[in-house]
Amino acid sequence: MKLSNETIGVLKNFSSINMNLVIKEGNTMTTMSAMKNIVAKADVTETFPKEVAIYDLNEFLQSLSLFAEPVLDFQDQFMTMKDEGSKATLKYWYSDPSVVTSPSKMITMPSEDVKLTLTSEDIEKLKRAASVVQAPDMVLEKTDAGVSLMVCDKKNTTANNYAIDVDCNSNAKSFKFYFKVENMKLLPGTYDITISQKNISNFKNSNKNVEYWIALEPESTYEA
């Protein structure tokens, strides 16, 4: 089996969330951060013939990079990687699934209180601004003046910040949802976002079968 560039991109993205990965039999990949505040799911074009546990995903990706177009052959306890017609083969042993962090079930949103769409351009601008002004936090806020999404330092009211006006669908009088910028480990793209007042959010890629569930910070507020 060959892995598409899109699937390798998903694996690289998942490695930023957790170095562990369990690939279940089938074509769906899931991962969860060690702090359990980020869960991600992706449907890929390949169908994996068996469950594979990988302890160090970065090492696995580096192993793939040793070959121009690696062909994977899955055995009971290991897989082999090689280029077609090549004399070189890499044997990669599976990890024990019990030592690998993996979500036991997917998240069901408890409520859908706020919905909005962020373009790829908006997300990249926010991430770049957060890096420039060294803002660790992102806050989505609704007031009488409208709805804005700002990167800032919530512990320092005089710190530099960057904000954009956004359109959202919500019947709430007001809300203030806090995220950690470091948790925005998203593949590039436009996202349809759903937020629950129970402090959980869902980011669904508009063009790819990839979605993330990201926990909000506990000081988030919502007034119906």
| The domain boundary residue, chosen from 99, 132, 157 | 99
Residue 82's domain comprises 5-99
187 falls within a domain: yes
Task: Select from 216, 198, 38 the least CA-distant residue to 109.
Answer: 198
54 falls within a domain: yes
Residues 173 and 216 in one domain: yes
Residues 153 and 183 in one domain: yes
The reported pLDDT for the residue numbered 208 is 94
> What tokens appear for 191 in the block?
């996202």
107 falls within a domain: no
Residues 144 and 82 in one domain: no
Q: What are the pLDDT digits (tens) for 183-195? A: 999 999 999 999 9
Residues 185 and 213 in one domain: yes
Mean pLDDT of the chain: 95
Q: What are the pLDDT digits (tens) for 48-106? A: 999 999 999 999 999 999 999 999 999 999 999 999 888 999 999 999 988 898 898 88
Residues 127 and 215 in one domain: yes
Residues 17 and 82 in one domain: yes
Position 116 confidence tier, pLDDT thresholds 50, 70, 90: very high
Task: Select from 24, 44, 184 the least CA-distant residue to 105.
Answer: 24
Contact 136, 127 (CB under 8 A): no
Strands (DSSP E) contained in the chain are 21-23, 26-32, 38-48, 52-54, 71-74, 78-82, 90-93, 114-118, 137-143, 146-152, 162-165, 168-169, 174-180, 191-196, 200-205, 210-215, 221-223
- Domain CATH for 77: 3.70.10.10
Query: Is pLDDT above 90 for 114?
Result: yes
Query: Is pLDDT above 90 for 144?
Result: no
**AA identity, residue 30:** T
The reported pLDDT for the residue numbered 76 is 94
108 falls within a domain: no
Contact 72, 3 (CB under 8 A): yes
Mean pLDDT of 163-169: 95
104 falls within a domain: no
Question: Residue holding tokens 């919905």?
Answer: 115
Task: Select from 131, 15, 1 the least CA-distant residue to 62.
Answer: 15
138 falls within a domain: yes
| The domain boundary residue, chosen from 72, 99, 126 | 99
Residues 128 and 95 in one domain: no
Q: How far apart are CA 29 and CA 17, in angstroms?
A: 13
Position 220 confidence tier, pLDDT thresholds 50, 70, 90: very high
Task: Select from 173, 166, 180 the least CA-distant residue to 118.
Answer: 166
Q: What are the pLDDT digits (tens) for 15-59? A: 999 999 999 999 999 999 999 999 999 999 999 999 999 999 999
The reported pLDDT for the residue numbered 104 is 83
| The domain boundary residue, chosen from 99, 134, 158 | 99
The reported pLDDT for the residue numbered 145 is 86
17 falls within a domain: yes
**AA identity, residue 159:** A
Question: Residue holding tokens 């660790």?
Answer: 136
Question: Residue holding tokens 């074009």?
Answer: 45
Residues 157 and 214 in one domain: yes
Q: How far apart are CA 5 and CA 65, in angstroms?
A: 12
Percent pLDDT > 90 in the chain is 92
Domain count, the chain: 2
52 falls within a domain: yes
Residues 130 and 218 in one domain: yes
Residues 131 and 73 in one domain: no
The reported pLDDT for the residue numbered 167 is 95
Residues 91 and 181 in one domain: no
Three-class SS state of 38: strand
Task: Select from 110, 166, 107 the least CA-distant residue to 139.
Answer: 166
Residues 218 and 118 in one domain: yes
Contact 70, 215 (CB under 8 A): no
